[in-house]
Structure 1
């Protein structure tokens, strides 16, 4: 029994009531008994681990339930104790906290990664319900990392990498900067022990060599602030081991170059004094232009507030200075834990908890069926680099660096994201892929007809936007594919002379059962996505009995061309209403429509005729289709404007234009992608261009692009 450590732990509980301390003693006794026969890999009694985790929780001045949960956090997972037993002994809240911290029950997973992703999802869900879960989890991870010397090197490195990827960024996102740096440095030592040792020695030596310069800068700052009549605390701020290593690696710098930037922290009484101190320091040393950041006016998403400036110190040395109040310093070090630590900052702590709760709620919304996808989405969301943009009403939104208009739209509301069609950035129209910059004023323009485009996935940055787009596309594709599959199967049955309604219900039931699907809609979806051939499904349905009828076969499938993802118009020939067309089922893509004379399908039509389906256009108003045309013109001034005007007059939009001049510059070949409703519309556009004297030739382009 670790008696001395337990006595120290009990002494640290002086902020709790005697009744709460008695409950904690009871929880310790229960945990010690449950883990009595267990040892850690180092040979120590297992109870030393829950005790250390509870000690870290006590340092944050968290409540009695959180301390008890820390002491009991492994009893569900490692001993025969049940959740109900914990609830009876220590209350429902403690049991819920412990359950959130426990890994999943003995479930089978395809891989270690999948198990980790699911465990992580469970932890985040519990964390979204109660923030104390993640604080205890981080304390647990910190102690595990600090006591891993007895573990195999490969396992140590794997756990350390997982911590760097997930747990350290969560600590940062919650504003736990001190813990964040400790986790990073510990992981660095576990993954690269030799590099860490060399770098530690180099940093120690550098500190000694530059002591005089550091003292001179420190004294200069103190004297300047005192002479300005400002009460302050000033101290040096050393870069962490891991951040130094990252800077050397990313910017290909030598150690001496990284250590050229010295950090100092100025802590003052209140916000006005922060700005007065900034003015005094800018008078002492010249500031570096563009290196000033005001995180007091616009705090970071994790609640961090400070003024940052870089000054040119003695001998041209860059000096980083952070200026903040005592309250800001507490929040910067402990983040959301400051809410428990410092009761005098109740308002700030509450505000920070609201922000954190909103972030956690956004994680809940990101859930999908795939744990690994959720894991990736959250990893994308855990980055410190942010830009701050404004809504038209002046609300500040924090987004990751590189986030686009679409990310902003989804950050405002899911429906705004789903229906965004354009945007105004700083009152000017901007494309949806426009990247946000600090201070941008963004207004989203929505349209009831607009819907998410798969292309958006190539440029969105936030996990929330990516998750919402994928969910919408998956749902839409399944719905559209189901409708298409039903029509394809109906057409196949009619071509075999069978009316679908005449097939008995038990034949459908047998078909569903033998296919391993839940219902007939799933079979339709598979047909629409090209995973099953309608002819095979039809013949299996009819295998039980002959269902003859006198209906004509070979009926063509009618399409609008606006079905979305389940029906795709081939990019090689770009068919439009009026063109003779034919369709092919392609696995995973649904039905792909080509023109009859498309050069890219000639070989397949002759060698695999069973893959081709007769289709025809069904009239629909208002839809425009992309089409490529080549226009050869005489090389005269203003001819492009004339051609563009003719296209516009015929009621067509220009999506893209490119130009190629001949070697003698007598003629220019204009390549347009325009939007037309049907063949007659295209003919009208071409007629309009033929009236221009400078136009010598117009051809509809049919390339080999598929």
Structure 2
């Protein structure tokens, strides 16, 4: 039977005869308009609109929606106008067609900009009528089903877009079946090799577990029947993308993802849901912390069910969902259930439709208030579509929506960039709080500003919004150049005076030679680099006053004193981890400043052998009264016995040291520990090692200098 006849047969089951006739007229009109056009696969183009209409008919959508589905590409791909569709089929159908039509006639600089503009118009239309997005989702679903005819690059692009934009929209509207199929197809074409590996793995697992799953299914049915509960019980296999994301998020192998099967129990009413839950908890032991009541507290998209994970036979986790027939319809069809259950007294479904419409209206408001370009709007859209937003109040009572994990700094930049740039503290719910404090829904946030304040580079480590990150980076890149030059000049003058050299005595020839050697364009640029920690003033002073060939000799008389408080301009090598008391040497490394090594480090020996780098080796020495901790590596060999690690940690703490990192490897008889601990100097390290040697199970302790 032709696809069109199948469509008419399906819609005749719920539409009025006159509506079916109108649909046939729209079919003839669309078929004629697309005559002679073909898809990439070679099929007649009109097979696509028919397939889209069939997807929507499975949701029992109304006649105007199905007619618009048949005509949704007519305005874009043919000479027929929106006005002509309005004259033939009514304004409602014309508006729906216009809502899903692409902006083919507008010229864009890039494909990404065109994509963003399409979403802009799509969201404007869907905020006016939710049926527009239902047609758009059905259109994308059929395109994904037939994606194999496209080139590999096109497959990747469309699949990623589906995972990032369309699948989350389907989820937000509660269209579970559409959402899951879009995810599966998006996964298949985005990561074809990973998809195929998981397909084979699940087939193998299905064979191994079929008997166990059947046994669980029978046990649940028998137990519910014995309790006199009328229920429909089905077993289901988790979707591949769900398994893949769980493996990715929790760093699990496929064999560690045990709960790839779930069971669904559908009962007549809400009290029966809780009765069924009690029966199943009596049959199999529930796993603590794995129960969620989405009936009492539904999800944003209207989804309702009881979720519980039980410990089944052979230790196999069983995921169970318990819901009513109506809840199941909402779970599978989401907002489309409004058309499936349109009775005037069904307030539950009216509420869900209203809830989804409010979300769509919110997107429209965000769109209209957005004055930036389309690509930036698309980024905001992606964030909005994913769950996990937090809603916080300004002091004036205005609600701001921020991504989960947002901090007080993100809030400040969300209010205004000037407030973000000048913020110094925050008050959350009337209490002072650090700027890095993560916000929770319902928090009332007040930002304290100061005219002298500037963005801190450390903020970049904890802000999560793109707006805050971009403003911070922009400000840091545009720090006043003149201020950096003045600061760098002061630092160099101070270094020159320590060598009893008058800065004004430096000749132009000396400056020119230095600039050639360092690769810096001008004196001002060199001053700025010193202010920003890219060059060391003491080293520049030596190079200005001494020929490069004689620097090593002068270093004997004037070593650079290291105090450990120099900041980013002086770094301590991770290879040998020098500490006060060690004989040390320094190497100047471009863009890194002065790197301190122990004198016997292999890197120092190699640099001294290499004549090209000889000038970069500097004589350095520790200053007096250094008051800070340094990292040092030690290796401990101990008997492989219980409690030995606890004893080691206790002794280190007793010696007033601290463990920064630990790596262990155990054999049959011995345990090998590599620890990074904090010590003040060599005497402190010796004290720590003496304490460890008092442990009877310790066999050997050595300091590591790789």
Cα gap change, 1:119 to 1:174, in 2 (>3 Å): same
- Number of the residue aligned with 1:77: 76
Is contact 2:393-2:445 (8 Å) kept?
no
Q: Secondary structure at the match of 1:303?
A: coil
Q: Which runs of 5+ in 1 are unaligned?
A: 475-528, 530-564, 569-587, 610-629, 631-661, 669-706
How far the C-alpha of 1:423 sits from its partner, in A, is 4.9
Give ranges in structure 2 of 5+ residues lacking alignment: 493-519, 526-564, 566-621, 629-706
2:388 touches 2:403 (CA, 8 Å); kept in 1? Answer: yes
For residues 30-109 of structure 1, the aligned pairs below 5 Å read 30-109=29-108
Alignment match of 1:368 (pick from 363, 366, 371): 371
- Structure 2 residue 380 is the aligned partner of structure 1 residue 377: yes
CA drift of 1:201 comes to 3.6
Aligned pair in 2 of structure 1 residues 202, 110: CA closer, same or farther (>3 Å)? same
> Take 2:373 and 2:209, find their aligned partners in 1: how far apart are those partners?
53
CA deviations 1:32-72 (Å, max 9, x no partner) are 11101111222221111111111111111112221111011
In the other structure, the counterpart of 1:287 is: 286
Alignment partner, residue 435 of structure 1: 438
SS in 2 for 1:67: helix
Q: Contact 1:185–1:241 (CA<8 Å) still a contact in 2?
A: yes
State how many pairs are aligned: 497
Contact 1:390–1:441 under 8 Å retained in 2: yes
Distance in 2 between residues matched to 1:39 and 1:79, nearest whole Å? 13
Call closer, same or farther: CA 1:593–1:11 in 2, change over 3 Å: same
Which 10-residue stretch deviates more, 142-151 or 71-80?
Answer: 142-151
- Maintained 8 Å contact 2:258/2:316: no
For 2:53 and 2:445, how far apart are their aligned partners in 1? 48
Matching of residues 496-535 of structure 1 within 5 Å = none
Superposed, 1:140-539 pairs within 5 Å as 140-343=139-342, 346-364=346-364, 365-366=366-367, 367-384=370-387, 401-404=404-407, 422-424=426-428, 430-431=433-434, 433-436=436-439, 442-445=443-446
Q: Residue by residue, what CA displacement relative to the aligned partner does 1:84-133 show, whole Å, maximum 9, x if unpaired?
A: 22222222222222122111142222221121122122212212222111
Q: Deviations over 1:525-566 (max 9, x none)?
A: xxxx9xxxxxxxxxxxxxxxxxxxxxxxxxxxxxxxxxxx8x
Any idea what SS the aligned residue of 1:97 has? helix
SS at match of 1:12: helix
Secondary structure of the structure 1 residue equivalent to 2:149: coil
Structure-1 separation of matches of 2:149 and 2:337:
34
Residue pair 1:76, 1:102 contacting (<8 A) in 2 also: yes
CA contact (8 A) 1:268 1:326 kept: yes
Mapped contact 1:423–1:442 kept (Cα < 8 A): no
Structure 1 residue 312, shift from structure 2 partner: 1.6
**Structure 2 residue 13 is the aligned partner of structure 1 residue 12:** no
Deviation at 1:141, TM superposition (A): 0.9
Secondary structure of the 1:288 match is strand
Contact kept? 1:391, 1:441, Cα under 8 Å: no
Q: Separation in 2 of the partners of 1:174 and 1:247?
A: 23
Aligned-pair Cα RMSD in Å: 4.4
Closer, same or farther in 2 for the Cα pair 1:665/1:410, shift >3 Å? closer
> Which residue is 2:130 aligned to?
131
Q: Distance in 2 between matches of 1:303 and 1:391?
A: 28
Distance 1:326 1:391 in 2: 42
- Pair 1:599–1:592, CA change in 2 (3 A): closer
Write the deviation string for residues 346-366 of structure 1: whole angstroms up to 9, x where unpaired.
423332233323322332314
Q: C-alpha offsets along residues 106-164 of structure 1, whole Å, 9 cap, x if unaligned?
A: 22222211211221222122122221111101111111111233222222222122211
* 1:402, distance to aligned residue in structure 2 (A): 2.6
Scaled by the length of structure 2, what TM-score is found?
0.61
1:23 CA drift (Å): 2.3
1:408 deviation in Å? Answer: 8.4
- Rounded to whole Å, the distance in 1 between the matches of 2:150 and 2:245 is 26
Report if aligned partners of 1:31, 1:72 keep a CA contact under 8 Å in 2.
Answer: yes
Aligned to 1:520: none
Alignment CA distance shift 1:349-1:402 (3 Å): farther
Kindly state the Cα deviation for residue 281 of structure 1 after the two structures are TM-superposed: 2.5
* Distance change >3 Å, CA 179–CA 213, structure 1 → 2: same
- Quick check: 2:4–2:50 contact (8 Å CA) kept in 1? yes
Contact 1:156 1:190 in 2 (8 A): yes
Distance 1:297 1:446, change over 3 A: farther
SS at match of 2:323: strand
1:591-610 alignment, distance < 5 Å: 594=483, 598-599=487-488
The change in CA–CA distance for 1:255 and 1:75 in structure 2 (over 3 A counts) is: same
Corresponding residue for 2:577? none
Distance in 2 separating the partners of 1:234 and 1:453: 61
- Is the contact between residue 144 and residue 185 of structure 2 (CA under 8 Å) also seen in structure 1? yes
Whole-Å Cα distance in 2 between the matches of residues 176 and 168 of structure 1?
A: 9
